[in-house]
Structure 1
Amino acid sequence: MDKTGASILSDHACELGEGPTYDPVTDTLFWFDILGRKLLRKAMDGGETLVQDLPEMTSALAVINDGHQLLLTESGLHIRDVSTGAITSYFPIEADNPATRSNDARVHPCGAFWISTMGRKAETGAGSIYRFLKGEFRKLVADISIPNSICFSPDGSTAYYTDTKRNILFRVGCAPDTGLPIDEPKVFYDHAGKKGGLDGSVVDADGVLWNACWGQGVLHAYSPQGKRIRSLAVPARQPSCPAFVGRNADRLVVTSAWEGMSDKARKADPHAGKTFLLDLPVKGRFEPRVLI
């Protein structure tokens, strides 16, 4: 494992830090404490972490335009006014099912939003993965337990995802202009039976997939052919999701969580829940804007 250094970007300890998204226009990182019902943001040029309390559990964010963001919450999609922080309902998703909440999501290069749901207690098969584009809503994957690692190749021809309970990374061919699958999922990397759980992922400009390995304090990198090519230590046992940040998208941040830890475990893992900046130059890329 590479002992690449890491610094603490934010010392706000999230119970379940997730969904980091960088906005290059404002040079700001946004992320969530899902269980704590909070939206966090921090300018990359310094300053404190700003926290907004949310009315419900929220797990992901996509930029619509300079003034508005799309939030994925336990009841569906909502629009956030960047200047005021006001949130308005937009599109319900499983809002009539109190047993589920939102989880992982990512914007396809064409502007489609792949979003997911899961059981509040990670019940087997309770979740799904959907695609939302310009008001069209379609289920893509059913009977999934803990959907994670939703991300895409730079040209949009490949999508990746996992069910953390199964611990297998899948890849599926996509239509670059619609973000819809065009063939059946295939195994990209089989992590079943190995330590740690496959959590959030991003894909860089070279097609390398970077995955946070929950429970192992590591960020793994996989080549486009599905070979593990690098492993970077993260100073928290439960890293949850990476994101590219910086004016050139050339740095990596990683969120983490203290969810499920005993007092003893938290003392042994003093940085659990914090957000880290890794001391490693990368060829990242910015998230596309979502088309609603």
Structure 2
Amino acid sequence: MQWRCEWCGRNYESDEPPATCETCGRESFEADTDDDPFESEQIVWACADCGREHVKHSPPCARCGGHNLERQRVTVDVDEDVSAPGYLSVGAPYLLGALVVVVIVGLALVGVIPVPGLSGPPAPPDAPADEERTASLSLAEVEANLHDRFETERDSEGVQSRTLDGGDTGAFVTYLTRHTVAERYDDGYDGDGPDPSAFDIRCQRQPAVGVFETAVDADAFNSESALADELATAMLDVTEYRSAIRNDAQREGISVHVAPDGTVFVGYLSC
């Protein structure tokens, strides 16, 4: 049988009521005959001055310092809504924030939302002609040789070395180059240029970017380095490109594309 101290509410389980309460020392007990498992009666001590409720009779009041605590019974029905906020309502703003982060990260991982540095840069558009080779030459090798040629130029000018395609510089300039070619040679193309915010470029200075065009016959060269030398010479002859190639940038992106009519496009970005 359950016995409850009428003063502090401590429960005891015994056939007979205890002689004294071990918590408050009182000798007044009542039988706990609550048959409804979904209701419970609690004893609280309310401050007569400010109404603050306390679980035990332990003056002074934690809120106002008053010493007059009155014993009250409180019945709680767990089937009813309670006024105190529960775990979900208290945590709702934080849980929502966590959910938003998880959803955004999840969508970024599958490429639905572009998050620079996480989902990767957007894929460049398709452009007429082969983006990887012209005749027997690898355009990727031409790009690498162009970078080496520019490094030689910078070394002769006492300018610091650069990283090729650091961050998303290569991806950005590839997108820009293919967009330029597609606009020129594909009547059905209606795409837009690259959105800089979708690329993890991380420039340390104002970027310089452009697409250089030349009518040089790429098929006339028997090596990637020879074609790269020709392109580098042509670009260094243009003041704007020469300045971009020689400045104190930390990285550069290069993209070479040969159009259907043989025009060579060289996308270039330094930052």
Instruction: Mark yes or no: TM-score above 0.5.
Output: no
Q: Which has the larger radius of gyration?
A: 2
Larger strand percent? 1
Larger helix percent? 2
What is the TM-score of this pair, normalised by structure 1?
0.18
